[in-house]
Structure 1
Amino acid sequence: MPPRHVALALLVVLLWGSNFVVIDVGLEELPPFLLLALRFVLVLVPAIFLVPKPDLPWRTILGVGATMSLGQFALLYLGLSLGMPPGLASLVLQVQVIVTIGVSALVLGERPRRMQLVGIGIAVAGVAIVALGRSGDVPLVALLLVLASAATWATGNVITRKAGASSGLGLTVWSALVVPVPMAALSLVVDGPERIVDALTHVSPLGIGSVVYTAVLASLVGYGIWNSLLARHPASDVVPFAMLVPVIGIATSVALRGERPSAAELVGGGVLLVGIAVANGVATRIADVARGRRRGPQPETAPITIASVVEDPPAERDVDPAARPGTA
């Protein structure tokens, strides 16, 4: 990858890793389901009038939206609102890679490789260490909600893979159609109209900034750049950057929110990341990239322009959805 594309990949990592703290800030002023509804209204408008609808059946688009967007983020936001630290959430959510492998085996008949099974075992051990050694500030129900969020995201990965589609910006935008109305209705039932009106009329610039950041920077810009990179480079070049998302998530949470992970959470998180790296073949991919670079300079790739970010990237390569980190 040329240096400017490496810089873009690092920008996406920064946007996605910091996003967990931004959500946590927004939850101080807005109820979780209302915050989520507002986020996806901004994802939809005006992008849905600019981004073409993916060439997929509506049942696939709605299925991806119900899992990747509605289910994943509703559970994540609720978990954060109930006390899950944002840094730890950014780490635990990466379990989706492991769950995707398991669900793919059950639904698509994709038999896991031996190293994937080893990685799954290591990752499960890491989650167990986090769960058993978590600090008293982390409620078990919040941890379980984030794990459920990862499982829902993984289900969306499998739906996307079964459809044979590239998860481009168009799918991100159009699948968002299923989110605002159910989340607004649920917020109305759970929080009540008075709470909603009070939250909307007293929201601060920080609360508004949280909605704008999560919708525009994390969802639209993040996915646009990431999928453009995947369209121009092998997954083995791009995917390893995703391992930095929880690192940024924890670092920003410690710096900005005063999060202090326990020793067990740090150890368990490290074990979890090792398991994900093994299951996802990151070490092998990095070695392949290094060998490729030793063979000599690679051809220059097409530049990433505004048009390439707005449009869906061409499905030039079969990119494993398990390797795609989602935004938070």
Structure 2
Amino acid sequence: MTNRDRLLGLTVVVLWGLNFLAIHVGLEHFPPFFFAGLRFAVIAIPVLIFVPRPKVPWKWLLLYGVGFGILQFAFLFTAMRTGMPTGLSSLVLQSSAPFTVLLGAIFLRERLRGLQLAGIAVAMLGMGVIGWDRSQHAALLPLLLTLAGGLGWAFGNIGSRLAAAESEGVNPLHLTLWMAVVPPIPMFALSALTEGPTTGWNDLIGSFSASGWPAFAALAYIVLLGTIAGSGLWTFLMSRYPASTVAPLSLTVPVVGIAASWAFLRETPSPTALIGAVIVIAGAFTATSARRRIVPAPLAVTPIARISTPTDHLSATAP
């Protein structure tokens, strides 16, 4: 990875780490499914009017949108609304890194090595430590919901890579913006069914008040910086490098998230949770950092296998 792309990756880390504070503020004003639908609807409306759809297969665009947009945030927002601490959420959501490795082996034929499997096992052990700590102090359900959000993110990562792999010259920003077209209607439908057909809209109207400005500030941050800037840069990196190269960057998001939550929300994780966090990050880093060899199809070289060969990745990133 070039120094420029490393800097872009660190920019994403900061944007996404602070994004959890914005989510915390937004969820104080809106119910989770409605808030998730609202954040993407704000993007989707101008995208449908002004941004040309990238020439990628619909199935991969839908996988990207369902995984990254619907599953990740439906589970994450619900977890945080039901008691998952903001800083700990930023950590547990990084379970997407080992999940991405496993799904990469399935969908991209990236062979897992013994060291990677060991790293995944260590990361799972760390999640178990955090889960045990949560069960001693609070409900376990928010943790499980956040893990489900991490799995959704991993599916989104695979969808974005497959979309870029099958379409030469796809604009990463356009791909990210069109991903936002997928979640709004399903999320608003879920909100109407589970939160009430008017609850979210009444909360939105109520936010147009002197005390409601934090909700709109949080929404603006999530839309402009967390989604458009952060996810756009992430999609750009995922289109240029193997999943195992990009995924470790997300493991430093909790450093920003936990520090910001401590500074602004006075959230102090327990020593056991911090030990579990170190175990998770160590295991996930091991799982996602080892180089993997991609096995081509036995009868024919498919476009995905051709694009994902080590030689092609090296030539694509050469200065």
Pair 1:207–1:178, CA change in 2 (3 A): same
Name the CA distance, whole Å, in 2 between partners of 1:144 and 1:34: 21
Residue 204 of structure 2 is aligned to residue 196 of structure 1: no
| Counterpart in the other structure of 1:25 | 25
Name the CA distance, whole Å, in 1 between partners of 2:236 and 2:160: 17
Name the CA distance, whole Å, in 1 between partners of 2:14 and 2:132: 29
Residue 275 of structure 2 is aligned to residue 267 of structure 1: yes
Name the CA distance, whole Å, in 2 between partners of 1:3 and 1:110: 25
Q: Which amino acid aligns with 2:79?
A: G
Provide structure 2 residue ranges, at least 5 long, that are not aligned to the other structure: 292-310, 315-319
Residue 183 of structure 2 is aligned to residue 183 of structure 1: no
TM-score with structure 1 setting the length: 0.77
> How far off is 1:87 after superposition?
0.9
Pair 1:184–1:142, CA change in 2 (3 A): same
**Is the 1:83–1:137 Cα contact (8 Å) retained in structure 2?**
no
| Counterpart in the other structure of 2:219 | 211
Pair 1:183–1:169, CA change in 2 (3 A): same
> How far off is 1:172 after superposition?
1.7
> How far off is 1:24 after superposition?
1.1
Q: Secondary structure at the match of 1:169?
A: helix
Residue 256 of structure 2 is aligned to residue 248 of structure 1: yes
**Is the 1:87–1:249 Cα contact (8 Å) retained in structure 2?**
yes
| Counterpart in the other structure of 1:90 | 90
- Which deviates more, 173-182 or 73-82? 173-182
Select which of 262, 287, 297 maps to 1:279: 287
Name the CA distance, whole Å, in 2 between partners of 1:50 and 1:211: 21
Residue 224 of structure 2 is aligned to residue 224 of structure 1: no
Pair 1:91–1:129, CA change in 2 (3 A): same
Q: Secondary structure at the match of 1:261?
A: coil
Name the CA distance, whole Å, in 2 between partners of 1:268 and 1:183: 32
> How far off is 1:259 after superposition?
1.1
- Which deviates more, 143-152 or 101-110? 101-110
**Is the 2:157–2:238 Cα contact (8 Å) retained in structure 1?**
no
Q: Secondary structure at the match of 1:46?
A: helix
Pair 1:237–1:120, CA change in 2 (3 A): closer
Q: CA RMSD in A?
A: 3.0
Q: Which amino acid aligns with 1:218?
A: G
State the identity as a percent.
39
Name the CA distance, whole Å, in 1 between partners of 2:217 and 2:281: 31
Name the CA distance, whole Å, in 2 between partners of 1:167 and 1:277: 29
Q: Secondary structure at the match of 2:181?
A: helix
